[in-house]
Chain A
């Protein structure tokens, strides 16, 4: 089973990459779960035609008890991808990281993985590994592999380096390993060289190179991934190539 967590600087395109990768894996015939681990709860919106699934934290806020079935806190999107969003507390209050841990505990109680029997689970995680909660997807057997999304922008590379270092800190604990970078191009000057230099220094391969593409924006305006809305586009081909690479590992 593919168990993958995707990290990266805020706004770098993690949700775009994760949703497209989920869609590509689904087109290849896999049963896929995508879990958005971000209080904004917008990871899966482009798998759901622009609709939003009720985030787990919202569900728990509205009810005194756990949901009885995982179907109450999930929605089926493009290609049959099961979409779940952790959501988070009221902005400015509570603990978003704890919300992720609580969601994962709930999914275990609901026996999500035993019941859905996924071939791939993708975790789309907010920004940096800022606290224990945001490390939850890479521990206890949830994700085994991490991909970091970056562009050639200085702050994106800075965040990528932080994330890579944070995951390395957990080497003794048997957590997930960083397997590579997704270069999500912003077409900044010298982007290719900057990212390749970072990848070389970190000892990480560039697992995918996603071109800056108006097709991605156009599809997202329709609540779609390019896998759904522009399957013949160059961007879609790159996501299919990444999916195939994961399948052959």
Chain B
């Protein structure tokens, strides 16, 4: 019962992470789940649904299909849809019901691939984990599949990794990041996963810039496979020149860097996704509470992992910070007297504060 949330909402699920990460990739994403659930993954958790076309499907899993283990229908339906849509690839992923019945998604993907001749891979979601897990696995899968070494960009080419609306909304952060990179003498060779993606060029970069943990696995793959170093951080406020220097240094030395984990002391607390929240904290002074999983190299020793509502409350009561930067829904668990700097997080509060999501680049953080 320790993980029960009485006040706070939960973060978007791993399934939504997959759909968001692959939304603009030109593939077909199929969630094996009951009919109607597509509105959760591809509309409630997806601000692009009105403006950007995508092939996100739900398998319309029925009670009897689940009981009978009718994988054949799922495979046949995906195959038929793929013949109609002719996608670049097919990604299939699961939800709670196929998790319970033990659907073998790798085997299903192999059968779909054999029948369609299209690359098909399974992303192992079950709807029980947060969006970071699904999005990170999805970006890793497409990077492994499609990233190639093309002609290296002149100067320092940068791949942006981990840009999804679940973390940054559609407020302009990613566009501003592109502009900031260009103004600082870098060239953007790819951006996973919004706008001009250029996925095939991701391995042509001199360095990857990871702006949320949804891009971390892809960055680690590009580092291991192609020797491309990565820098974790978002160039917000005073952290911007630090990140620019880190990108230049990493491109030159091949070493990875984690500016988002460089904290100045302060009485400010930031709650959110590790890299974005860490960057805000690094720019403003203070510490981070991580409600989501956080890779060790992203976190600072003073950070606290707060995986449930009770631990968030206990941490805040213990710290008694003067101000907290977090999604507005965290207002309800703040200690008396603590001031909230609203930083809406789409993966947490969805459309509730969508219009208030800021363009973080260049923004003063306190």
Contacts and interface: CB of A to CB of B under 8 A. Distances in A.
Nearest to B114: A172
Contacts of A135: 102, 104
Nearest to B124: A105
A97 B102 contact: yes
B103 A132 contact: yes
Interface in B184-229: none
Given A64-B2, A131-B69, A132-B69, A98 B102 contact: yes
Contacts of A174: 107, 110
Interface in B103-143: 103-104, 106-107, 110-111
A10 interface: no
Given A101-B102, A132-B101, A133-B102, A139 B69 contact: no
Contact of B104 (A64, A98, A132): A132
Contact of B100 (A98, A140, A175): A98
A95 B101 CA distance: 9
Interface residues of A, number: 17
Contacts, number: 34
A249 interface: no
A126 to B, nearest CB: 14
B102 A132 contact: yes
Contacts of B102: 97-98, 101, 131-133, 135-136
Interface in A145-175: 170, 172-175
Select the residue from A98, A135, A173, A175 with max chain B CB neighbours within 10 A.
A173
B101 A173 contact: no
Contacts of B104: 132, 135, 139-140, 173
A173 B107 contact: yes
A176 B204 CA distance: 41
Interface in A98-157: 98, 101, 131-133, 135-136, 139-140
B46 to A, nearest CB: 28
Nearest to B111: A172
Contact of A131 (B2, B101, B107, B110): B101
B57 to A, nearest CB: 22
B307 to A, nearest CB: 10
A244 B2 CA distance: 51
A143 B243 CA distance: 48
A92 B3 CA distance: 26
Interface in A198-213: none
A95 B100 contact: yes
Q: Which of B3, B101, B111 has the most CB of A within 10 A?
A: B101
Contacts of B110: 173-174
A64 B311 CA distance: 14
Contacts of B2: 64
Nearest to A95: B100
A227 to B, nearest CB: 33
Contacts of A172: 111
Contacts of A97: 102
Given A64-B2, A132-B69, A139 B107 contact: yes
A93 B225 CA distance: 47
Interface string B70-106: 0000000000000000000000000000011111101
Nearest to B103: A132
Interface in B30-75: 69
A95 to B, nearest CB: 6
A172 B111 CA distance: 8
B103 A173 contact: no
Nearest to A97: B102
B53 to A, nearest CB: 34
A95 B102 CA distance: 11
Find the residue from B99, B102, B104 having the highest chain A CB count within 10 A.
Answer: B102
A174 B107 CA distance: 8
Nearest to B108: A173
Contacts of A173: 104, 107, 110-111
Nearest to A132: B102
Nearest to A139: B104
Nearest to A141: B106
A140 B106 contact: yes
A135 B104 CA distance: 10
A172 B69 CA distance: 16
Contacts of A98: 99-102
A173 B102 CA distance: 14
Contacts of B103: 132
A97 B102 CA distance: 8
Nearest to A170: B107
Interface string A164-193: 000000101111000000000000000000
6 contacts: A64-B2, A98-B100, A98-B101, A131-B69, A132-B102, A173-B107
Given A133-B102, A135-B102, 17 more contacts: A64-B2, A64-B3, A98-B100, A98-B101, A98-B102, A101-B102, A131-B101, A132-B69, A132-B101, A139-B104, A140-B104, A140-B106, A172-B111, A173-B107, A173-B110, A174-B107, A174-B110
- 3 residue pairs, one from A and one from B, having the closest CB atoms: A132-B102, A173-B107, A133-B102
